[in-house]
Chain A
Amino acid sequence: MGGVVKSIEEINRRIAAGEAVVVNAEEMIAIVEEKGPVKAAEEVDVVTTGTFAPMCSSGALFNLGHPSPKIKIEQAWLNGVPAYGGLAAVDIYLGATALPADDPRNKVYPGTFRYGGGHVIEDFVAGKEISLKATGYGTDCYPRRELETVITKETVNEAMLLNPRNCYQNYACAVNGSDRLIYTYMGMLKPELGNATYCSAGQLSPLLNDPYYRTIGVGTRIFLGGGIGHVISHGTQHNPCAPRGPNGVVTAPAGTLAVMGDLKQMSPKWLRGVSMVGYGASLAVGIGIPIPIIDEEMARFTGVKDSEIYTEVIDYGLHYATGGGEPLARVSYAELRSGTITIRGKKVPTAPISSYSKALEIANILKEWILSGKFTLSTPVASLPGPESGYSPKGMKA
């Protein structure tokens, strides 16, 4: 390891003094290429990353405040979308993929899923009035059995974005090798490898710039939905033991983050309801994570570029649903971004689901926040399980 070693405290002092050098992960590529990782680590203090894409494992936790007489909410609906009431009296959790009872789903195939939990969250953050209906069974302390009112971000006590799995470190590229058109969470896939979709910001993506979770950990302060949030844990299905290339970068879906933040300070620009035809509703979440360049290795990691990041091409028509089959190919993000990949000799057009231009916008906003002194870096209070942990997700017997 080179001689440069900086502490996060030192970087924060430079931020406070207005002396920090902050660049986004795209700019860092050229700096590392030109100057090498040692010099880059000396010169750059922070690299900002970003991602903006549908992230289904997202939701909002509300404390609604007590009406008079009080109610112990058992079932609740926000704009007709069911929320989970199995918590204390007026705490409810709304999942991003929840759908109103009267949505026809895929009964008329493919369903369009125009309004679900993610859309309620977007409307709430936008300051709109949200209708609340709730029922309870009545107790001596909570006698009310029905409730019908309107809530806004002004009326509720807490509104927290609480997402169990966001920010996937790499994701598969989806194709369809079957002979019929299919609709998936990766979008519409035409038969016989008619098109390919992918969902990662690649060289801008947070965990692809810190492949071994050296700086991103529990307690890391982040840009979340336009406000400030935190990493609260590794996410569900965290898989640090996924295969890695010689540069340490995972070549399949791997690490994940659980994140949380105050919904009231977020923006509908960075939390957007999503309707995936034939699949369901979701929430697109904007996340930006600063990476402190504490040494030469972090400079090298953040200098990673699309041509050095690979992912697997998975057949969602034949293999994904049952979990069998081998990846059809391994492709780089540079190839994916070019618009065409080659699978089994066939040229297949590609399209992203993750917005690269919005990811870049987020990385630049975070950069501005840090340069202006509004946002400082935090030292994680615990590390995420890394490849040495042996931690990996299991399947289910069913």
Chain B
Amino acid sequence: MKFSKKVVLEFPQHTWDQPIIYALNTKYDLMFNIIKAKITPRQEGVMTLELSGDKENFDKGIEFLKEVGVRVRFLAGDIERDEKLCTHCGLCTVICPTDALSLNRDTMEVSFDKERCVGCELCVPLCPFKAIIMNIPSHSQRNSLQNNRRGNKKP
């Protein structure tokens, strides 16, 4: 059965010379669609991609990513809309490329479909009421990323 999920991968420095995405494809037969990729000022890579394939292979692929030191999180939890802050003005629907944010034309209320969200973040600065929030990794998770990197520098 085909399984598909959007994931955010954080690559510590020491993973740079490894063809990790290639391995996901060839070893686990996962199809990937890169939504976003960037390199942070700390020279860590962050990539958002949609992975599709067999559920069992998907789980093995995620396991493989963790083993080689890539931090994995699922995109659905990344962007949140704060219901208390949202005024349902509708301005965010201008920019959302996937219609994850959409305006019900009868009730004139904005709905947010996490499954459709690709985490492009375009809506975050656009919302006049700061109601769309990026969940950034917690401090301890960041530290473990850094420790990985430091560990790699040891002779």
Contacts and interface: CB of A to CB of B under 8 A. Distances in A.
Interface of A: 52-54, 110, 112, 114, 187-188, 190, 195, 197, 272-277, 282, 284, 337-339, 349, 351-358, 360
A358 B87 contact: yes
19 contacts: A52-B87, A187-B94, A190-B94, A272-B87, A273-B129, A275-B128, A284-B87, A351-B91, A351-B103, A352-B90, A352-B108, A354-B89, A355-B88, A355-B89, A355-B90, A356-B108, A357-B88, A357-B107, A360-B108
Contacts of B133: none
Interface string B81-105: 0000001111111110000000101
Contacts of A274: 128-129
A338 B91 contact: no
Q: Would you list the 5 A-B pairs with minimal beta carbon distance, nearest first?
A: A356-B108, A351-B94, A352-B90, A355-B89, A274-B128
Contacts of A353: 89-91, 128
Nearest to A118: B128
A175 to B, nearest CB: 11
Contacts of A351: 90-94, 103
A197 B91 contact: yes
Contact of A188 (B88, B90, B94, B105): B94
Nearest to B87: A355
Nearest to B84: A269
A187 B126 contact: yes
A110 B88 CA distance: 23
Q: How many of chain B's residues touch chain A, expressed as a range?
A: 10 to 19
Given A53-B89, A351-B93, A351-B94, 16 more contacts: A52-B87, A112-B125, A114-B130, A187-B91, A188-B95, A197-B94, A338-B105, A349-B94, A351-B90, A351-B91, A351-B103, A354-B89, A355-B90, A357-B109, A358-B88, A360-B108
Contacts of A352: 89-91, 103, 108
Interface in B103-139: 103, 105, 107-109, 125-126, 128-130
B129 to A, nearest CB: 6
A357 B87 CA distance: 8
Contacts of A187: 91, 94, 126
A374 to B, nearest CB: 25
B108 A277 contact: no
Contact of B108 (A114, A282, A337, A349): A337
A272 B91 CA distance: 15
Contacts of A114: 130
Given A187-B91, A355-B90, A339 B125 contact: no
B132 to A, nearest CB: 12
A361 B72 CA distance: 42
Nearest to B107: A357
B105 to A, nearest CB: 6
